[in-house]
Amino acid sequence: MELDTTCVTSISCPVMTGIVLIGGRSKRFGTDKVMVPMGEKILIERVTDIIAPLFSEVVLVGHAREGLEDFHIVEDLTPGQGPLGGIRTALSVSNTPHCFVFAADMPNLSRAFIEYMISVTDDHDAVVPVWSKGREPLHAVYHRRILPKTEEFLDKQVFRIFNLLSAIDTLIVEEETIRRFTDPAVTFANINTIEDLGLAT
């Protein structure tokens, strides 16, 4: 599969790298959900097909698999440190000041909402959506300058992304704004079980 990286907006491509974290163990799913078929595509293709036109580059962070040879994959610098470790790797390898970090198991992303988040990033350290179900740190923008702070938490064995967000300049995108572009229950829905896969649109 070859990604379409043609920009759909003039603001998107020069300023950010799209990052998809594929390092999870898929314990609840029972098999590698990144590779699970969804119609004519696999799950990771559902994600990258939506985001690729918005970024100059899309990088998958995690371990390589057979069948992902056409993707740009970067191995986790420090495996076993969870999503915060994945963010650390993303910030380390990004060629742009900002990364937009996505979970690999959100197949119903809203391109319009992603574009909105890009447009309000300005010089914030992070931009994170928040709705009634909580914060969405794996649908969020991060600036490369927070790398030292990220490494500081990891060195202390503190792996909660929310600790990092509390320590940096984080712009919150409220639910009222999210709903101008998409239904958060759809956009932020994760594929964690076989049942979730059956419910996905």
SS3 42: strand
Specify the pLDDT at position 133.
96
- What is the tens place of the pLDDT at every residue in 28-62? 555 678 888 888 899 999 999 999 999 989 999 99
Q: How distant, in Å, are the alpha carbons of 57, 101, 138, 142 from that of 7?
A: 10, 18, 22, 20
Which is nearest to 43 in space by CA: 62, 16, 68? 68
| Residue 67 to residue 42: CA distance in whole angstroms | 10
Domains of the chain: 16-199 (3.90.550.10)
Residue 29, sorted as left (phi over 0), alpha (psi -120 to 50) or beta, turns out to be alpha
Residue 80 has pLDDT above 60, yes or no: yes
CB 7 within 8 A of CB 53: yes
| Residue 119 to residue 113: CA distance in whole angstroms | 10
Percent of the chain scored above 70 by pLDDT? 85
- What is the tens place of the pLDDT at every residue in 108-141? 999 999 999 999 999 999 999 999 999 999 999 9
CB 99 within 8 A of CB 144: yes
